Amino acid sequence: MFGPGSEFHAFFHDPRWALAMVRATVLEAAHPQIGAALLDNSTFVTHPWRRLRNTFLSLQRMFGADDAVRHREADRLRRLHTRISGTDGQRRPYDAMDPAVRAWVVATLFESTVTMCRLGGQPLEQAVMERLYEEFRAYLAVMDGDADRLPLTLSEFWRYFDRVVEEDLENTEALRIILYKLFDHLPAPPALDGLPTLWATGRAFAGPLVGAVTVASLPESFRRRAGLPDIPGAETLTQTAYLAVGLARFLPEGWLRTDALANLLTASPDGDDPAARTVGAVRDGVKRAGALFRLLSPLPEQPGPPDAAVRPRGAEEFFREVLDQTGDGFVEWPDLAAMARELCGRLDLDAPQENRLYDAFADWWRELQAALDTDGDGRISAAEYAAAVPALAGPALIRVAEVLFDVTDADGNGVIDADEYRALFRTGFRRDLPSADGTYSRAAFVRDFLSFMAGRERSGPYDPVFAQA
């Protein structure tokens, strides 16, 4: 069911899967429970590239050949979802551990893969489709221990899918954000950070195109019921987009690997791994070309803001870029939980270590709330943060730093070596960070973490973890 011999493995590096993933995410967000959970807990608006990379990494672990890795990832996903529950704006409860909801997520991935092939001009044969469906049911069984939340046969699945589309899906706020806000305001990936004109130009063309293609590919009955626009020629555009993207499949083997592309998109240009060096070289080349163009242009050069890499953050900027992980304008527990979730995923922690880190962040949230929530509404606004404290490094935040050091120090020898450092920051040591013996001490680690989290100083290691998209 898994690994190189599976049907899914043939699609994992298919470039059309990028469009299919967007489509599946929209169908998930249209489910009221999932839409509410995304709004309250997800970083998909503020950190979409980070979310994309983590999603691909999780799928790679789940559908790989290693059973131990698969079950470890399934356990991690269960722990993650156990922490996500609440009520939506209509006071309806949501719970990420609801078996029916989790089955719908798997259903959207399977159905979008089938639709991807159909729109790309290569519809799946019945036997291939049935084997692929069995693989997705096996995926659900690993996650939940029971595949029966999805129908046993493929013919029954299509009736189930149509029923959920007709009876359960809604035009949720999360769906509208994905279709009409996310692509219009999509932040540049770290690879293109510092090239705002180039990114804005590409986004202005690609954003509406991806949105239109996604809407046109959704089930027609849902489009009508949700009031989504029916753009003339959109179906032809959708088929053309899938066909055009699909041509990349004929590039030489190894040129288009999903994991490599995801790593490249999220690599910090200032890192020292090969992908980061490639990104940095491309970015520097584009900047030099832009400087040459401005030199030859008759228009006078306009003064711009100071280099973001050296300009210190103000309190409101730090609040927006670092603390407000979900992008709703406030800091609440889900924002700090998102930080803990990202760290746990990077370090691939087991349950006891993960619980320690979450508990430390929960204590920090209580400390922040007690110190900064002046109006008692249970959340912290940017104004409350900026007015109350220019720097906050209380005992709970210090404890977060100490626990983060402990879980990063995988071998427990009291220092962080190069491999442990790379696991957390996805880049190698910088010259000014490790001690003389080539390690990172507890004192230096805690000091640098507190300097970033409380002092609002930009940080080469920590910005990619918490601030970059």
pLDDT in tens, 419-436: 999 899 887 666 555 555
Whether 213 is covered by a domain: the verdict is yes
Residue 56 has pLDDT above 60, yes or no: yes
pLDDT band at residue 283 under the 50/70/90 scheme: low
Give me the count of residues in the chain.
469
Confidence of residue 299 (pLDDT cuts 50, 70, 90): very low
Residues 27 and 108 in one domain: yes
Examine residue 2 and state whether it is found in any structural domain, yes or no: no
**String of DSSP letters for 218-273:** S-HHHHHHHT----TTHHHHHHHHHHHHHGGGGSPTTSS-HHHHHHHHH--TT--S
351 CB-near residues (< 8 Å, 6+ apart): 75, 79
pLDDT of amino acid 282: 59
Nearest residue to 240 via CA among 203, 201, 209:
209
- Reported as type and span, the H/E element at residue 352 is helix 351-372
Would 306 be classed as within a structural domain? Answer: no
Shared domain check, 125 and 26: yes
Q: What torsion, rounded to 10 degrees, do the Cα atoms 344, 348, 349, 351 define?
A: 100
Q: Let me know whether 104 and 162 are in one domain.
A: yes
How large is the average pLDDT for residues 288-297?
52
Chain mean pLDDT for the chain: 84
Stretch 236-261: mean pLDDT, rounded? 72
* Domains held by the chain: number: 3
**DSSP letters spanning 28-91:** HHTSHHHHHHHHHH--TTTSHHHHHHHHHHHHHHHHSS-HHHHHHHHHHHHHHHHT-EEE-TTS
Look-up of token digits 């990104």: 279
Has residue 130 been placed in a domain? yes
Q: Is the domain of 231 the same as that of 85?
A: yes
Instruction: Give me the pLDDT at residue 101, please.
Output: 95
- What is the per-residue pLDDT across 171-197, written as a single tens digit (0 to 9) for each? 999 999 998 888 777 887 776 766 777
Beta bridge partners of 380: 331
pLDDT of 455: 64
Of 197, 200, 195, which Cα lies nearest the Cα of 285? 195
106 and 220 in a common domain = yes
Amino acid occupying residue 127? A
- Residue 302 placed within a domain: no
For the chain, how big is the Rg over CA atoms in Å?
23
Q: Do 79 and 225 fall into the same domain?
A: yes
Residues 6+ apart with CB under 8 A from 49: 187, 189, 190, 265, 266, 468, 469
Distance separating alpha carbons of residues 428 and 66, to the nearest angstrom? 27
DSSP string for 127-164 = HHHHHHHHHHHHHHHHHHS--TTS-SSHHHHHHHHHHH
Averaged over 132-157, what is the pLDDT? Answer: 94
Average pLDDT of span 129-141: 96
What would the pLDDT profile of 311-338 be if each residue is shown by its tens digit? Answer: 667 888 889 889 999 999 999 999 999 9
How confident is residue 459, by pLDDT bands cut at 50, 70 and 90? confident
Using one digit for the tens of pLDDT, what is the confidence trace for 71-112?
999 999 999 999 999 999 899 999 999 999 999 999 999 999
pLDDT for 185 equals 77
Instruction: Classify residue 281: in a domain, yes or no.
Output: yes
Residue 408 predicted with pLDDT over 80? yes
Q: Does residue 289 sit in the same domain as residue 342?
A: no
Amino acid 249: pLDDT: 65
Mean pLDDT of 290-297: 51
CATH number assigned to the domain comprising residue 333: 1.10.238.10
Look at residue 250 and tell me whether its pLDDT is greater than 70: no
pLDDT at 241: 85
Instruction: Say if residue 368 is in the same domain as residue 400.
Output: yes
Residue 47: pLDDT band with limits 50, 70, 90: confident
Pairing of strands 380-381, 415-416: unpaired
pLDDT at 304: 45
CA 437 – CA 427 distance, rounded (Å)? 19
Q: Is residue 52 part of a domain?
A: yes
Would you say residue 146 has pLDDT above 80?
yes
Asked if 68 and 74 count as a contact pair (C-beta separation under 8 A), the reply is no
- CB of 182 closer than 8 Å to CB of 44: yes
- Is residue 86 domain-shared with residue 215, that is, in the same domain? yes
Does 46 lie in the same domain as 12? yes
Model-level pTM greater than 0.95?
no
In a domain, 1, yes or no: no
The residue among 385 and 190 whose pLDDT is bigger is: 385
How far apart CA 103 and CA 81 sit, in angstroms, is 13
What whole-number distance in Å separates Cα of residue 457 and Cα of residue 238? 45
Question: pLDDT value at position 335?
Answer: 95
What pLDDT shows up at residue 394? 86
State the SS3 of 405-463.
HHHHCCCCCCEECHHHHHHHHCCCCCCCCCCCCCCEEHHHHHHHHHHHHHHCCCCCCCH
pLDDT of residue 18: 83
Cβ neighbours of 193 (radius 10 Å) = 21
Asked if 423 contacts 347 with a C-beta cutoff of 8 angstroms, the reply is yes
According to the model, what pLDDT value does residue 25 have? 94
Task: State whether 109 and 205 are in the same domain.
Answer: yes
Confidence bin at 136 (pLDDT 50/70/90): very high
Q: 289 and 226 share a domain?
A: no
Domain interval for residue 332: 315-467
Question: Rounded to whole angstroms, how far apart are CA atoms 247 and 166?
Answer: 34
